[in-house]
Structure 1
Amino acid sequence: MKKSLNILLAIILLTAIVITGCQSKSNDDKVIKIGASPEPHAQLLNLVADDLKNEGYELKIIEFTDYVKPNFALAEKELDANFFQHLPYLQDFSEKNNLELVSLANIHLEPMGFYSNKIKDINELKDGSVIAIPNDTVNGGRALLLLEDKGLIKLKEGVGLDATKEDIAENPKALEFEALEAAQLPRALDDVDAAIINGNYALQAGLSPTKDAILIERADSPYANIIAVRKGEENNPKLQALVKALQSEEIRDFIEKEYGGGVIPSF
């Protein structure tokens, strides 16, 4: 009798575990955990939270202020997706850290800009001026490409998006470059002659790319910000729902009206 009771209790416990596990998986399928930079990424995500709720999904936004942790958190399955970076950065970071992360969709472009607290026009830039640029490979190269596009330097033939300071072939003003973490660049403006700042960090610092930047990246830049996910999960229904919500006319209109060219839709 006691043996039969123990078997029955074991069956009940096993059934409870299976049911709980199924319920947990079902609940997870209805929650979208996404890592994002505060502005404009988290702001855009907050705008679509209700739309996703109407589709049966709960959106949980985890804010990050750096360009490193969100990709590791995604790879380690602490997140379902992240939203803070462009494709060249994702590809470079994934290759260097052996991560299997891919782009799910383009959302917007944040034009990189050349800012200064010391000059108002590029012609005021003196010989030997110190320019702060991002210290990661991709955004540092992006900053140099902006300077080349505006005629301040010339890079070696064919270096493309991977340009570094060593690839500068011509530097008529003998500009000096100081590489800093991207998030620190706005705070460095008083210490350098100018800084080339990513759009999201400029916005967080109260800078307007279209009003305050002396030089700004062109709208056809290849650096559109993306939704990144783990490879193999591109067709996950909740992630497809997220993309659909972000690539809506409502979001397009908000970006165009709110940022006035400081952020540009890329869908």
Structure 2
Amino acid sequence: MRNKLILSLASIAAAVSLTACGASGTPSNSSTAAGSASSGGVTVVKVGANPVPHAKILEFVDQNLAKEAGIDLDIKEFDDYQTPNIALSEGSVDANYFMHEPFFNDQVKTKGYKFEHGTGVHIEPYAGFSEKYKTVEEIPDGATIGITNDPGNQPRALKMLEAAGLLKDIADDSAALTLTDAQNPKKLKFEENQPEILVQVAKDPKIDLAIINGNYILQAGMSTKDALIVESTENNPYANFLAWRTGEQSEGVKKLDELLHSDEVKKYIEDTWPSGDVIPAS
């Protein structure tokens, strides 16, 4: 079974309404929300994900691996980073697949979610794009950098700029708008934006460099091979994983997590994104 639903922050009301209704518009019940609904011995697992690469990977699992494992994925797509967790918390999905650990920890801390997660499946390298410059060395003092306003990802972007020689001494809790002169010797200016619009921000004439999340790079048909800066994937803590409500990992969700770590999925990722825009975590 495949049922895709696109949601964004602009449609949070719709996301909340999903907690009262199933995908068909009928009220959800506790057995369906727990991932225990079954038909002919097949367990339906409702899973939320960003469109690329997460939903694409889930589609591969659904079409090639799920049936033999006794599950059927009901994939719901979300085009932002907030509504997938709203849906999971409210029970309209059994699991979601889009977060990495720093973002997960920030969401649990600031939103009070009761979630657990599996181990990392893949990494999408962060990257910096410019319409003005061809090399990092060309970026001038006082340049304007488009950066995410998401505290779970902003330090990641700052660390990438540090690795490129544009910033110094970035900590895990550093914030773009409170950097010291010592941390920001080039006096870079930062313009915070929602992560889903940074692809458009990169084209703004006043922006010298935009730092874009990997999934939005892919969704826009872009590639890290065209970026000025690309995040290193060595010892990278930003692998995306499957998450579920605390104490509610059903057998269906457990089987899905196992399939996401299979050799077949690893090969699919490597074959689908050979340029390294998506890399298996192990």
Instruction: Provide TM-score, normalisation by structure 1.
Output: 0.85
Offset at residue 177 of structure 1 (A): 0.6
Offset at residue 22 of structure 1 (A): 11
Q: Is there any run of 5+ residues in structure 2 with no aligned partner, and where?
A: 1-28
1:244 has 2:254 as partner: no
- Mapped to 2, the partners of 1:249 and 1:264 lie a distance apart of 13
Offset at residue 121 of structure 1 (A): 0.5
Moved more, 248-257 or 86-95: 248-257
Q: Tell whether the 8 Å contact from 1:111 to 1:216 is kept in structure 2 after alignment.
A: yes
Offset at residue 265 of structure 1 (A): 0.4
Go from structure 1 to structure 2 and tell me whether the alpha carbon gap of 1:22 and 1:85 turns closer, same or farther (over 3 Å shift): closer
Offset at residue 131 of structure 1 (A): 0.5
> More helix by proportion, 1 or 2?
1
Aligned to 1:198: 213
Go from structure 1 to structure 2 and tell me whether the alpha carbon gap of 1:31 and 1:176 turns closer, same or farther (over 3 Å shift): same
1:164 has 2:175 as partner: yes
Moved more, 76-85 or 28-37: 28-37
Q: Tell whether the 8 Å contact from 2:136 to 2:164 is kept in structure 1 after alignment.
A: no
Q: Tell whether the 8 Å contact from 2:49 to 2:78 is kept in structure 1 after alignment.
A: yes
- Mapped to 2, the partners of 1:195 and 1:38 lie a distance apart of 21
Aligned to 2:4: none
Aligned to 2:75: 61
RMSD: 1.9
- Mapped to 2, the partners of 1:103 and 1:56 lie a distance apart of 21
1:93 has 2:99 as partner: no
1:114 has 2:128 as partner: yes
Aligned to 2:50: 37
Aligned to 2:37: 27
Moved more, 215-224 or 48-57: 48-57
Aligned to 1:6: none
3-state DSSP of counterpart to 1:137: coil
- Mapped to 2, the partners of 1:23 and 1:196 lie a distance apart of 42
Aligned to 1:184: 197
Offset at residue 172 of structure 1 (A): 2.6
Instruction: Provide TM-score, normalisation by structure 2.
Output: 0.81
3-state DSSP of counterpart to 1:155: coil
1:230 has 2:245 as partner: yes
Q: Is there any run of 5+ residues in structure 1 with no aligned partner, and where?
A: 1-20
Aligned residues: 242
3-state DSSP of counterpart to 2:191: strand
- Mapped to 2, the partners of 1:45 and 1:142 lie a distance apart of 26
Q: Tell whether the 8 Å contact from 2:48 to 2:93 is kept in structure 1 after alignment.
A: yes
- Mapped to 2, the partners of 1:38 and 1:22 lie a distance apart of 27
Q: Tell whether the 8 Å contact from 2:157 to 2:211 is kept in structure 1 after alignment.
A: yes
- Mapped to 2, the partners of 1:254 and 1:83 lie a distance apart of 17
Measured against aligned partners, the alpha-carbon deviations of 1:98-149 in whole angstroms (never above 9, x if no partner) come to 1101212311001100111111101111121110011011211110011112
- Mapped to 1, the partners of 2:264 and 2:115 lie a distance apart of 28
Where in structure 1 do 4 or more consecutive aligned residues deviate above 3 Å?
Answer: 21-26
- Mapped to 1, the partners of 2:69 and 2:240 lie a distance apart of 24
